[in-house]
Each structure stands twice: as C-alpha cells, then as structure tokens.
Structure 1
Amino acid sequence: MTFSVASIRKDFPMLAEKIYGQPLVYLDSAASAQKPQQVIEKESKFICHHYAAVHRGIYSLSSKATAMVENVRQQVADFINAADAEEIVFVKGTTEGINLIANSYGYRFIKPGDNIIISQMEHHANIVPWHLLACQIRFDIRVLPIDNAGKLIFEQLDKLIDSRTRLLSFTHMSNVLGTVNPVKKIIAYARQCAEKKKAQLHIVLDGAQSIMHQMIDVQDLDCDFYVFSGHKLYGPTGIGVLYGKKILLNALPPWQGGGAIIDKVSMTLAEPSIINITYENAPWRFEAGTLNIVGIIGLGEALRYVNNIGYQQISAHETSLMQYANQRLSTVKSLRFYGSDERQGVIALNLGDHHAYDVGSFLDNYGIAIRTGHHCALPLMNFYQVPAMCRVSLAVYTTKEEIDILVEKLQHIEKLLG
C-alpha cells in the first residue's frame, strides 16, 4: 500500500478524541499503541459470530474457532520467521513470557552456584523474575553494563561468561532510551565466549519494544527465546507471544498446571495415592486453562495490518520523524536528553531540573500524552542519577505536526516554570 500517515490516522478512532478541549497528541505508544478499527472490528465480529471455547469441542463452532486460533499461531510464526508454528506459545504478554521461561527453563537448567547475565538497561520484567528465582535456587545474577551513551558494553561478556553461565537475557531495544542493541552481533559473540568457556548458554531476547519498529527474524538472530506483547504492536492487551526453539520447549516442564496441557492423567485410590501425568508437546503444554481467544484473533488482525503497511514504509516514516523530532526538540534550550542520538521510536528527556511528573502534567493540560516516571527501569534511572524521565514515543500514526505542538508547549512550560 502507498504510505500516507493521514490515511493511517483515520484507521485509529482514538486519535480523533479531545483532552481538555484540545486534540489528542498521543506520544506514549511505547507503553501501549492505539488500535486500528480493523482490529476492533475483527474482535467484535469474532465475538458476535464465531466465539466458542477452543481445543475442547468437536461441534462446528468450536472446530472453526480452534482453526482460527491455530491459523494465528502460524501467522505469528511466519511474522517472526519461526521454523515451526509449534514454536509459538500464547501468553498474556512479555512479562508473562519471561516469567514462564524463568519458572520453566530456570528450574530445568539452572542449579545452585550457576549464574545468568542480564543488562543494566533492562525493564523490571527482565529483572524481577530472575531475582525471585535466584532467591530460591541460589544462583548468581551478573549485570552487563552500559556506557554513557546508553549502549551495552557487550565486550564485557568475555569476562562475565564462565563455565557455569546458563542464560543471557537482555532487551532488543531499550524501553527508556530507544537504544537498539546489535543483538545479532551480541548473540554471536556470546555464543563464541560460551564455547570458549565450555558453557551451556541459552539466550532470551525481550522484544517488547523492537517488534513494532522493525522486522524480526528469530532464525537469523539465533536467539533461543523471543518474547513480545500484542498491545505494543497495535493489537489487544492481554495477549503476547513466547517464541522458543522447538527442541528446547519440548525439554521444559509446564509452568502452570491445568486443563489443555494434559496428554494423560491417572490416579490410584490406594494409600498413598499415586498420580501419573504426561503432558502435551509444546506449545500446548504451556497454555494451561482457557486462552485469551478474542485477543489472539485481534493479534492476528494487528499482524495483518502491519504487514499491509510494510515494515520498510513504517521504518522510513519513523526514521524521518525521529530526525525531525531530534532537530525540533533541540530548540528547547533547557531540555536534557538521555542515551545516544542513534535511537529508535523513543526519546528520553527532562526539562531542566523540573520533575518529569510536573512536565507531564502540564503537557496533559494541552492534550499531549507522554510517559513520565522511572519506566520500570530503576537501575537505568540510577545510572543517570535522576528520579524520573519524560519519555516521548512515536508510532506509525505520529505526525511532524504533533512534534511541533509538543515543542511549542515545552517552550511555553519552560517560560512558565523558569
């Protein structure tokens, strides 16, 4: 399709809303992107005409709903170039995906005295699950540092990896700084270091931020796991994806117990009773209970929407927009920027010494929505020695006119606050 941001904006009904009488300028897509009408209508149509429990019924409605869900699984596999649809596990989102890995892979492969590596720029979702697990298993967590430009010093992996390193888990793109890590290069280097140190190393990529900005090829990246959330990719909340290499997924135990993950269950009435359970193969052994069926259908439509536009056009628009935003924002004299100029989709800043919350509140009065706070990345705030940052994030529907409005209002706030 021919790219037209004006036409694309018409697909997003929320963008026509007003806040305090001002047109909405939505610059918080890194937290959650707005939803196109196509996704909204697809979910509504499914609820009205196709809804039924999946994987549980032989009647036609259930069979059709099951086929639709499994079609989306294949669609996701194609979208990220997984080798097999059975490498795609549906989860609530990135956070649940990482928790699943921690509580399945962690108990299977990590032993007391082992270690894993995460980075200094991680979201709490890629810190807390490992900390909770380490408190139980008693393994070490090592931290890959960043430099002043907000880039990973990945050469430090040669010092951090030893024979007892089991996992490297890090973000593809910083949710705060917009830094896009050279993940293919880092993964290749990590595997080289692991081979030299005779470490059985697996690699997790947090793709929550990168998935909306660039095409992902998990086979080319050679990661063992990749996780992302649907709601950051113009899809619904409450649905996400965990990709894992098939041979690895089938070696892991279920994380949650319940229906749909079972192959066989038997029990004896003798004392003590004996219960024997065998589980389905992946991905179904990780999908206990009733899936977010409607969310899966919405996710499929979101992927179709992105494919119809094309990542090449999305990237070209966002790159031009980021260059424009960097240029225009630099005219606000007291703005302080964090991270490198080589950022994607996200700009972290503060207005002088004013607290981010104050700036965000002022902008809200003008209908401008940005994210303020520590962005679930307190180690990063500590690195830059600030309590909070303002975060401006761009999407396929963001315009240069919206950047102009942001700059105008920041200059106004600058005069008001002094």
Structure 2
Amino acid sequence: MSETQVVDQGTEAYDVEAVRKDFPILERTVGDHPLTYLDSANTSQKPQVVIDAVADFYAHHNANVARAMHMLGAEATGAYEGARKKIAGFIGAADASEVIYTKNASEALNLAANTLGASLRPGDEVVISVMEHHSNIVPWQLVCQRTGATLRWFDVTADGRLDLEKATREGLVNERTKVVSVTRQSNVLGTINPVEVLAGMAHAVGAVLVVDASQSVPQMATDVQAWGADMVAFTGHKMLGPTGLGILWGRYALLEQLPPFLGGGEMIEVVRMEGSTYAPPPHRFEAGTMPIAQAVMLGAAIDYLEGIGMERIAAHEQQITAYALEQLAGVKGLKVLGPTEPVDRGGAISFELEGVHPHDVMTLLDSRGVAVRGGHHCARPLHDRFGVQSSTRASAYLYTTQHEIDVLVEALDYTRDFFTRPRTSSRTRRKAN
C-alpha cells in the first residue's frame, strides 16, 4: 500500500509523508541510520507549529494568570483559559469549568484518588484492573491503606481483554464498591476497554467511574459524556503537547462536592487565620502558579490534531497496527502480548523475542536507529499476570509509516540472529590461529 493512505471511503487520502514534514525531529539520524521513532506511547513528538506556540508565548505574552492586572496578564489569562475551552471541546465536556489543569496524568489520578478517597471508610471497596499503569494503581493503594477501604481488581483473559464475565460471576462490582477506576486503553496490550459498560456497572451500585485515558485521547475521538464516566485523566505530552501538563476532567456536580487537593494561591475565596473558604471548580484544584505556557502549547496541539481530524488519525493508526501485527507474526520467536487482531486495540504492541532480554532488544534496535521501549512499562502487575518479567514495546502514531514497521521487523530479525547464532570461544579462536 502507498504511504499516502486512504483512511476511509469518502475522505481525502491521509498523506503521512506530508504530516511527517511538520515534525523536525523526524529528520534526525542515529549514526548512519534514519530515526525510526516507535515509542509514541511513551511520549509523542511535536510539530513545529506547537513548538512555535510556546516560543511565541514566552517571547511576547509571558505573565502570570489571574493575578497580573496589566496587558500581559490579560493576554496570558486569555490564552490559558482559551486553551481550557479548546480542551473541553476536544473531549466533549459540558463546560470548560469541568477541565482541571495538573502537572501530568499521574497527578490527575492522585487528585481523583485523594478527593474521592476523603469519603471512603472501612468496608468500602475500590475496583481497578490488573492492566493498569502504576499511576492508576499506587494512588488507590495509598488511599485504601489510609482509609481502611479494600482494593479489588478486574482480571484479564489470556488474549488480554478485561475479564468481565469473571467479574460478573464473582460480584466484583457490588454494593460496597464506591469507585471503579480503569484504563480506556492499555499502554502494554493496546486493549481498548468498554468504558460505557463499566460506567453502567459502577452507576448501578452508586459508584463513581474514573478513567485513565492517557493512551486513547491522543489516538481517537473522545466523548467523556457519552462514555458515562465521572472523571477522566490524560496527559499533554502523548498528544503532541508539552511535558509538565496533565488534565483531569470531572462532572461539575461531582467536582463541586469534593475537597481541595492542594492548598495555596488562587484556589481560595477568603483566607483568614481561623480558616479559609475555597474557590469553585476548576480553580479549587489549581493551587499556585500553574503550567501556563504548557496549557497554551496543548491548545496548539489540539488545533493541529483537529486540523487533521481525529477520525482520520484513528483510521491511520488502525491501518498501521494491522500492518504491524501482520508483519510481526512473521518474526521467528516473537510473541505478542495481548490482542493479535486489530480489533478494539490501539497501536501499542508489546512482545517477547525468545531468548533475548527486552533491554538487549531495545539496545540493539537503537543501534540501528529504531526507538522502542523495553521494560515493564510501568505495568509490573500486568507482566506478572502473563508470567513475563518485561517486554519490548513498539508504538505508532499519526506520523508512523509502513516503511518504519518494515525497518522494525528487519531490525528484529537481525537482533534475533545476533543473539542466537553460535559463538566461537576465544580459546577456540586462538587454537584456530
């Protein structure tokens, strides 16, 4: 198939080569090899227009928001709150006041866990899944340890799907459940979870549904209201935006009932020595100087994504994922973790290469210009569930080409041969000489 790929009947062709020209880093080389960047589930690369947006802010509009009553302060505040409106529209929020800025998705999930956890008591239960990123495990562990609540979790099937049948049979979500917190898309398996179904399960027993959407928001159209979720966390740096910025969306009726997470400037109404009153959401949860330039940068990233169209980006990812799964199936000794069919799965593909440690795979691939990730990908319990210590992960995005998948496969064949071919000992070589 041509690298100019038709993503859907009735839409214009998706010209991946034209998209790639917007990303200066993709012109890099690694030694004599062109960079083949297949680590976008870890962090995405940035188009020039997004890089320019942050430079322009610092060069021409830099000031603190809300506090500075001068021209620059008004410009900075307008850009900061304007980005909030863009984010709200991008994810289908009812209003921009439902969008909270944090420093990353981990902080967003900690905010959710600690504010929702304020009402947990012994006997209450929190339900997560074994496929969660550590950011959606550890905060709930800490809250349960502090409150006496019990942490329980969904298992996964052998092919990496959420085991809803087992959960229903065992009554995992029940009248004691207060919070269900799950990933929309696994950062290891690529599995896309049915959050609408999970919302129904949670709400049927009066529980709140929290969704970690860090992997899915960059890749496909998002409608948090249609999901039926109560809170959704994601991060800027995986969707062409900056590091240092995360987002927590929450239903306003829920947010206004929750206590502050951090104390400081701008999250208050009135402060007296005897006590304080707090601002309404979202500012109640935004203490101190926030990541202002990063918010502007994320707004520019959303403009770029919407300019291409999330439906076209998702279709491109599906094509690349299908092609990658097909080509990887031909690599001798390679086993994919999770779904091997491009159905209800994203572009993160984790795998084992028989006889070769993932760190060795990653290192040798890097020597040939191929950037992947090796390790447990901040999902140790999931690797334990599949009985593997770690894995190698290749992940695509809107700028990934089929040629790059071919380069990956060729590099994996080289890696397998390098580590499995017979070795001649130094003693044998000396005798031969």
- Report if TM-score (shorter chain) is over 0.5: yes
Aligned counterparts, 1:61-72, within 5 A: 61-72=72-83
Q: Distance in 1 between the 2:163 and 2:409 partners?
A: 33
1:270 aligned residue: none
1:79 aligned residue: 90
- Range 221-230 or range 322-331, more displaced: 322-331
Q: Distance in 2 between the 1:161 and 1:313 partners?
A: 36
1:171-230: CA deviation from partner (whole Å, max 9, x where unpaired) = 0000000001111122223333x1xxxxx3000000000111111101111100000000
1:300-349: CA deviation from partner (whole Å, max 9, x where unpaired) = 00011100000121122111111111111111111111111232111111
1:63 shift after superposition: 1.0
1:157 shift after superposition: 4.1
1:284 shift after superposition: 0.1
> Match for 1:56 among 57, 63, 67?
67
The answer on 1:176 being equivalent to 2:175 is: no
Q: Which runs of 5+ in 2 are unaligned?
A: 1-11, 421-433
1:157–1:190: 8 Å Cα contact kept in structure 2?
no
2:179–2:202: 8 Å Cα contact kept in structure 1?
no
2:409 aligned residue: 407
2:329 aligned residue: 330
2:173–2:201: 8 Å Cα contact kept in structure 1?
no
1:197 aligned residue: none
Fraction of identical pairs, as percent: 42
1:325-377: CA deviation from partner (whole Å, max 9, x where unpaired) = 11111111111111112321111111112111111111010011001001111
> Match for 1:97 among 108, 125, 144?
108
2:6 aligned residue: none
1:113 shift after superposition: 2.0
Query: Aligned with 2:263: secondary structure?
Result: coil
Q: Distance in 2 between the 1:369 and 1:68 partners?
A: 34
The answer on 1:127 being equivalent to 2:137 is: yes
1:311 aligned residue: 310
1:236 aligned residue: 242
Q: Distance in 1 between the 2:322 and 2:176 partners?
A: 44
Aligned counterparts, 1:3-42, within 5 A: 3-42=14-53
2:104–2:234: 8 Å Cα contact kept in structure 1?
yes
2:129–2:153: 8 Å Cα contact kept in structure 1?
yes
Query: Aligned with 1:210: secondary structure?
Result: coil
Q: TM-score, normalised by structure 1?
A: 0.95
1:188 aligned residue: 200
Residue 255 of structure 1 aligns to which amino acid in structure 2?
Answer: F
The answer on 1:44 being equivalent to 2:50 is: no
2:198–2:209: 8 Å Cα contact kept in structure 1?
no
1:11-45: CA deviation from partner (whole Å, max 9, x where unpaired) = 11111111122111000000000011010000000
1:169–1:206: 8 Å Cα contact kept in structure 2?
yes
1:154–1:186: 8 Å Cα contact kept in structure 2?
no
2:294 aligned residue: 295
Aligned counterparts, 1:337-416, within 5 A: 337-341=336-340, 342=343, 343-416=345-418
Aligned counterparts, 1:212-227, within 5 A: 212-227=218-233
Q: Distance in 2 between the 1:344 and 1:259 partners?
A: 40
> Match for 2:122 among 112, 118, 121?
112
2:356–2:416: 8 Å Cα contact kept in structure 1?
no
Q: How many residues align?
A: 404
Q: Distance in 2 between the 1:374 and 1:415 partners?
A: 24
2:178 aligned residue: 166
Q: Distance in 1 between the 2:95 and 2:217 partners?
A: 19
Q: Distance in 2 between the 1:186 and 1:66 partners?
A: 37
Residue 139 of structure 2 aligns to which amino acid in structure 1?
Answer: P
1:2 shift after superposition: 5.5
Q: TM-score, normalised by structure 2?
A: 0.91
Query: Aligned with 2:126: secondary structure?
Result: strand
